[in-house]
Amino acid sequence: MKKIVECVPNFSEGRNMETIETIAEAIRKTPGCSLLDVDPGKSTNRTVYTFVGEPEAVVEGALASARVARERIDMRTHTGEHHRMGAMDVCPFIPVANVTMEECVEISKEFGRRAGEELGIPIYLYEESATQEYRRKLPQIREGQYEAVKDRIVMPEWKPDFGPAKFIPEWGATVTGARFFLIAYNVNLLSTPNQAHRIALNLREAGRGPEEPGQFKEVKGMGWYVADYNLAQVTVNLNNYLVTPPHILYEAVRDEAAKLKIGVTGSEIVGVVPLDAILQAADYYIEKEGLFVLDEDQKVRLAVERLGLNSVAPFDPKEKIIEYIIQEEPDEPLASLSLRGFIEEVANRSSAPGGGSASAAIAAMGAGLGAMVAKLTLGVRKFEELDGKMRELVPPLHEAAHALIPMIDADTNAFTDYVDALGLPKETDEEKAYRAAQLQEGLKKAIEVPLSTMTLGDQAWDAMIEVAEYGNIASKSDVEVGARALEMGIWGAYKNVVINMGDITDETYKKETLATAEAIKDRAAAMCKTVLDILDNRSA
């Protein structure tokens, strides 16, 4: 899956719209970057940009925006209410999906190194990227603001991590680093701002002071009144939603509000939010209320409703959830065809798609039929005593069916590396050796794909057997077809493993892989027979 990193550079310019837009355009034009939000503030004279992309792209986007700031922002004339020390004041990198914090640390260092070298500006590292504990937090580095940079930057203990250790009057200094995703989150109250602030003091990490800390870690917050909504709010920054997620904060506000006999009227997320935070909320309410929800879109809807995220402004998941904002259509041309189109494509005069893709599709249908029967049994009054059992059986079948769909295209694409290797030069002994090694790697990939199809299909058997035993007997033929299809899909994938194994020279790999594939194939035959025997012995 694609790696997604968020970058949130803050620039010391919130009034000159031409400069603000020029910086935004520099980010937009960077290949691989998606600009999500531009938030200028006149009184703060500061603009916060939010964009996302893969690791290499966000570094380029941050550098492109910094180049514009280097040309257009002059800190010698800057004034504003917000603390600041540089034209690009702070530039954090945040892991969003399939990226570790350690990777973001390296990303921030790469940005800092290049910005220092290419733009000749001082760069400090903070948060997870910090090299010194005494300058880990932004307030520590920014103490005295821009006006103090001139004297501090020449001190040995305040030498920048990258770039020149000298004062650049028109720029100041920049702070970069890796930090966790910050969620700006507000809970709406039918109360006074004082009551909202009282609740915030009880919940935020700092509490009322060192002697009276609040309930939750990684939470900064206060209470205020929003005239546009005619509501008070507990407004918080959740610095690490894995420590304190939105739904836990929301429920805590509800508890505190109940003690004060205050009404809670939903909540809002300011800016964007990771999908994981929303799904965590959904899973919380699913467990709390004993619900049964499988599909992701339904989980998102549940979280939105339980948190009241539509209460003051529409919460459109496609515009608020990062992964949905930047998602692309899956690269699955075969699986995306109509059923008619797929069959016609298989029937064409070409070698692909062939038996491997067809096997994946057949196995997916087999698991899908098992899932269908379990779902048709679930919730039926006649089978009410089986609800608990069906709730256990639906997920593995549902997940197997969905996991097998991408294998339709994966099998057709499996020979890409092998075909590419065939075109490698083979004039010298060194070229021949390299080509031979690449051909072997290509063949192994072509084997691993159908083996993965077999493994995914194999995971459905235990649930399929129980569906045969407990499912609605009126759907007997559906389970029979499902079992036969699942076995056939696994058998077909096995044949693809075997046929691609012929030219493999690694005898150990060949022996171990064939043994694994044969075991899955034999288990499929035995499990299919068990399903059919169970159904033959069941009466209506």
255 and 247 Cβ atoms separated by less than 8 Å: no
Closest C-alpha among 457, 276, 274, 282 to residue 359: 457
List all residues 6 or more positions away from 221 whose beta carbon is below 8 Å from its beta carbon: 200, 203, 204, 234, 235, 236, 237
Which of 456, 295, 466 has its CA nearest to residue 374? 466
The whole-angstrom separation of Cα 398 and Cα 451 is: 20
Using the 8-state DSSP alphabet, how is residue 274 labeled? -
Helices (H), 384-475: 387-404, 406-413, 416-422, 429-458, 461-470
- For residue 482, how many C-alpha atoms fall within 13 Å in the half-sphere facing its CB? 29
Here the tokens at position 15 are 């009034």
Helices and strands in the chain, H and E counts: 20, 11
Distance separating alpha carbons of residues 372 and 356, to the nearest angstrom: 24
Residue 182 has what DSSP assignment?
A: P
Distance separating alpha carbons of residues 253 and 167, to the nearest angstrom? 46
> Which residues, other chains included, contact 43 with Cβ-Cβ below 8 Å and sequence gap of 6+?
14, 80, 81
Distance, in Å, from the CA atom of 343 to the CA atom of 217, rounded to the nearest integer, reads: 56
Please tell me the distance from the alpha carbon of residue 322 to that of residue 330, in angstroms, as a whole number.
17
* Separation of alpha carbons 539 and 536, rounded Å: 8
Q: Which residues are known catalytic residues?
A: 82, 411
Residue 162's CB: how many other CB atoms inside 10 A? 20
Which amino acid makes up residue 493?
Answer: A
Strand-pairing partners, residue 37, are 50
How many other CB atoms sit within 10 Å of the CB of residue 519? Answer: 12
* Helix pair angle (429-458, 406-413), 10° resolution: 160
In angstroms, the first-to-last Cα distance of the chain is: 46
Phi first, then psi: give them for residue 184, nearest 5 degrees: -85, 115
